[in-house]
C-alpha cells in the first residue's frame, strides 16, 4: 500500500515523496485504520491530497482523512497504542462472505476458555514466545493493555491492544489460543508459554487473512481525541 500512495502523490509533489506507515502489515493482512505520514518536496493541501488519492488509488484502498502535522512527525514513531483484531470462523461450512477475511477453523471453539487464557497475557511482559524469527533483533517487551475474546454465533474475534507488537505476535497468540479453544491445552498453559520465552512452545501461526489493524492512537496534542484514521483497505 505504501508504494500505491507514493505513486499517487508523486505528480502532485513534483518529485519523490516519503511515506511512513504507522504499522507494517504482512501480505494478506487487512487494515481498517492504517495511518501514514507523508513528506513532500512541495506543499500539498490535505483537501487536494485526499481527493487525488481517492481518485487514483485502487478501489480496495480508501483515504478517510488527511490533515497537516508538525515538521518531523513520523506516523510509526509517534504511536501510543495499536489495536489488532483477528476473526475466526467456526462454522462447518465456511461463509463465502468471509472468504479471505477469517480463518476458517471449521470446528467448535471454547471461547470462554480462550478468554481465560488471554487474560494471562495482559500487562507488560517479554513476548519472545510469540515472536517470529525475523523480529528477534528488537526489544521483546510489550505492554498489552487489553485482550478480549468475543463470540458471535459461529464467529469469534480476538482483539488485542498494546503499545507495540512483535513480528507475527498477534497471529502467534491467536494460534496458541485456538489450541486452548480446541481443548488440546488448558487455559493456564498460555502463561507457561509466555514465561518460557521460547517460540517453539507456543501454538501455530494463524494465517494472515484473518488479521486486521483496527486502530492507531496518538497523543491528543498531535490529533484531538488521541487517534487519527488515515488509510483504509476496504473489506
Catalytic residues: 26
> Which residue, 51, 23, 34, is CA-closest to 215?
34
Q: How distant, in Å, are the alpha carbons of 70, 128, 165, 195 from that of 111?
A: 44, 25, 23, 23
d(CA 44, CA 67): 10
SS3 19: strand
Strands 61-63 and 231-233 turn out to be antiparallel
- Residue 169, H or E segment: helix 169-181
Q: How many Cα atoms within 13 Å fall on the side-chain side of residue 160?
A: 29
Amino acid at each position: 500500500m505504501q508504494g500505491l500512495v507514493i505513486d499517487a502523490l508523486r505528480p502532485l509533489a513534483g518529485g519523490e515523496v516519503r511515506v511512513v506507515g504507522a504499522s507494517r502489515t504482512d501480505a494478506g493482512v487487512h487494515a481498517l485504520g492504517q495511518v501514514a505520514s507523508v513528506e513532500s518536496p512541495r506543499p500539498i493541501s490535505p483537501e487536494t491530497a485526499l481527493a487525488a488519492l481517492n481518485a487514483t488509488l485502487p478501489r480496495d484502498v480508501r483515504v478517510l482523512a488527511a490533515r497537516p502535522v508538525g515538521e518531523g512527525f513520523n506516523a510509526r514513531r509517534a504511536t501510543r497504542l495499536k489495536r489488532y483484531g483477528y476473526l475466526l470462523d467456526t462454522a462447518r461450512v465456511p461463509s463465502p462472505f468471509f472468504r479471505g477475511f477469517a480463518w476458517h477453523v471449521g470446528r467448535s471453539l471454547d471461547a470462554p476458555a480462550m478468554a481465560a487464557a488471554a487474560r494471562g497475557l495482559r500487562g507488560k511482559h517479554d513476548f519472545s514466545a510469540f515472536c517470529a524469527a525475523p523480529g528477534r533483533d528488537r526489544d521483546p517487551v510489550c505492554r498489552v493493555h487489553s485482550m478480549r475474546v468475543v463470540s458471535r454465533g459461529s464467529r469469534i474475534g480476538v482483539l488485542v491492544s498494546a503499545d507495540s507488537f512483535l513480528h507475527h505476535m498477534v497471529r502467534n497468540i491467536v494460534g496458541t489460543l485456538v489450541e486452548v479453544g480446541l481443548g488440546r491445552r488448558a487455559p493456564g498453559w498460555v502463561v507457561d508459554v509466555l514465561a518460557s520465552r521460547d517460540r517453539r512452545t507456543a501454538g501455530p501461526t494463524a494465517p494472515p487473512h484473518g488479521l486486521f489493524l483496527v486502530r492507531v492512537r496518538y497523543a491528543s496534542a498531535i490529533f484531538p481525541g488521541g487517534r487519527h484514521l488515515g488509510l483504509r483497505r476496504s473489506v
